[in-house]
């Protein structure tokens, strides 16, 4: 009978497991998709950072080119001023040259006229007439000296004007050469300015391309972020639906198992009652004895045919009465369970439990939780004896102390009052990503770890990244 009940319970649990498995499979797919989306989002943000860095470098280069272009334009303006001044100098030399040439020509013309006059007057006869016409020697010498000075003056003037023309011509040539040099420098600067402007335009175009790339990448990042939110919402919905389905299946399985167990107990009790009705047992001397007394004393007992029987298989009427009057609920194995099928009173230290429930101290919670070390891990379970997952374990433990925890590990991360791990005390709730545990102090935790280890004590609370520490409030 018990075997049949166990099989029925397993079948019900398997059905619930199948429902949960389908939901969990979709959850796992979504979590994998979300992880991939998160990777794409991180990669996109990294690409945006690279674009921004490249754009900043371009802007720095453009700023340097702009500064160089300003310097070149200033140099061009300076050269234009120098060229303008040089052109003025050239114009002045041209004017000076023209004036010197006119003075030379005038002097030459005057001298030519005087020579021509003397020649027309007879050349040497003119000198003779001048000597004859002289009043005295002194007058003659004076006239001769005057004539010589006039010749010397003409010669010196012509030489002076010739030198002036030569100097002015050389200066004009120098100015032309300097102007040509200045114009060459100006041409070089103008070429450089064109090259600088071309480089600036190219870099500004590249910077605009980076702006477009950044805008597109930001748009993709926004889409990835929105997709992550949608995936998270669907995950939470599926998780809630799965937990609800598991809870309903569990309750149904427990209800049917309890009904089957009650029927089995009733059937077994009836069978035992039928078997033991009017059954009389005897000691080795043939005296009628109470089977319960014999079992307590360890004495052998015999049926009416002299066959030895097991005292545990024989119950007195008082025993049956006591059993029937035991006002507790039992599972299919006959173990006492509480109303929620979460705690086996036989496995509970009554003094510790009572003290913990009344005081609600963190140490009492931790001590109470350690009593269930070694019991199995059951995904979706909340039974401290028959099996619980991490959040079901913490929920059932805290319930014994009057605390109502949410069902899932994600919801329990927001329960109670948050404290730092450095300030963690026994009885605090340690929250990880998708996992919860009860803190025992000295870096130790008790938790429903996994299907292999079951409910266990771990010596390192930081074996996984701690997301939050919650204190009952």
Distance, CA of 306 to CA of 304 (rounded, Å): 5
Under DSSP, the state recorded for 340 is T
435 counts as catalytic: yes
Closest CA relative to residue 344, chosen from 288, 400, 383, 306? 383
7 counts as catalytic: no
The catalytically annotated residue of 7, 333, 431, 435 is: 435
> Beta 417-419 vs 466-471: how paired, if at all?
antiparallel
Name every residue whose Cβ is closer than 8 Å to that of residue 227 and which is 6 or more positions away in sequence. 37
Name every residue whose Cβ is closer than 8 Å to that of residue 423 and which is 6 or more positions away in sequence. 469
Distance, CA of 424 to CA of 441 (rounded, Å): 8
CB 277, CB 14: distance < 8 Å = no
By three-state DSSP, how is residue 27 classified? helix
Dihedral angle sign, alpha carbons of residues 167, 171, 172, 177: positive
Closest CA relative to residue 449, chosen from 437, 461, 439? 437
Three-state SS for 237-279 is HHHHHHHHHHHHHHHHHHHHHHHHHHHHHHHHHHHHHHHHCCC
| Helix runs in 337-389, H state only | 350-359, 362-370
333 counts as catalytic: no
CB-count exposure of residue 100 (10 Å: 0-12, 13-18, 19+):
buried
Name every residue whose Cβ is closer than 8 Å to that of residue 244 and which is 6 or more positions away in sequence. none
| Residues carrying an active site annotation | 390, 435, 447
């Amino acid at each position: 009978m018990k075997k049949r009940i166990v099989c029925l319970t397993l079948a019900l649990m398997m059905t619930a497991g199948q429902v949960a498995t389908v939901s969990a499979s979709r959850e796992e797919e979504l979590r994998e998709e979300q992880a991939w989306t998160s990777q794409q989002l991180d990669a996109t943000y990294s690409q945006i950072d690279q674009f921004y860095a490249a754009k900043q470098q371009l802007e720095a280069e453009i700023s340097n080119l702009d500064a160089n272009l300003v310097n070149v334009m200033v140099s061009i303006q300076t050269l234009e001023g120098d060229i303008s001044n040089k052109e003025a100098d050239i114009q002045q030399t041209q004017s000076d040259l023209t004036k010197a040439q006119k003075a030379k020509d005038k002097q030459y013309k005057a001298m030519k006229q005087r020579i021509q006059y003397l020649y027309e007057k007879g050349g040497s006869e003119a000198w003779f007439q001048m000597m004859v016409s002289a009043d005295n020697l002194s007058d003659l010498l004076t006239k001769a000296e005057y004539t010589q000075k006039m010749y010397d003056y003409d010669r010196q003037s012509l030489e002076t004007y010739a030198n002036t023309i030569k100097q002015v011509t050389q200066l004009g040539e120098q100015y032309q050469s300097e102007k040509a040099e200045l114009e060459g420098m100006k041409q070089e600067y103008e070429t450089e300015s064109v090259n600088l402007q071309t480089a600036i335009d190219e870099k500004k175009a590249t910077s605009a391309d980076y702006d477009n790339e950044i805008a597109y990448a930001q748009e993709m990042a926004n889409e990835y972020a929105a997709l992550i939110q949608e995936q998270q919402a669907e995950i939470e919905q599926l998780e809630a639906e799965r937990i609800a389905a598991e809870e309903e299946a569990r309750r149904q399985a427990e209800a049917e198992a309890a009904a089957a167990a009650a029927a089995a107990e009733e059937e077994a009790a009836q069978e035992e009652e039928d078997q033991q009705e009017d059954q009389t047992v005897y000691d080795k001397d043939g005296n009628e004895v109470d089977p319960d007394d014999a079992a307590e004393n360890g004495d052998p007992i015999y049926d009416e045919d002299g066959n030895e029987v097991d005292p545990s298989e024989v119950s007195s009427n008082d025993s049956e009465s006591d059993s029937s009057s035991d006002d507790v609920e039992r599972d299919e194995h006959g173990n006492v369970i509480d109303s929620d099928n979460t705690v086996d009173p036989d496995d509970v230290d009554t003094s510790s439990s009572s003290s913990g429930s009344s005081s609600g101290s963190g140490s009492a919670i931790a001590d109470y939780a350690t009593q269930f070390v070694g019991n199995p891990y059951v995904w979706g379970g909340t039974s401290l004896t028959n099996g619980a997952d991490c959040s079901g374990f913490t929920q059932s433990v805290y319930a014994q102390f009057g605390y109502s925890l949410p069902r899932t590990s994600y919801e329990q991360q927001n329960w109670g009052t948050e404290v730092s791990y450095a300030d963690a005390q026994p009885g605090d709730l340690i929250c990880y990503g998708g996992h919860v545990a009860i803190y025992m102090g000295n870096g130790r935790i008790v938790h429903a770890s996994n299907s292999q280890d079951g409910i266990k004590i771990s010596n390192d609370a930081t074996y996984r990244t701690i997301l939050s520490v919650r204190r009952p409030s």
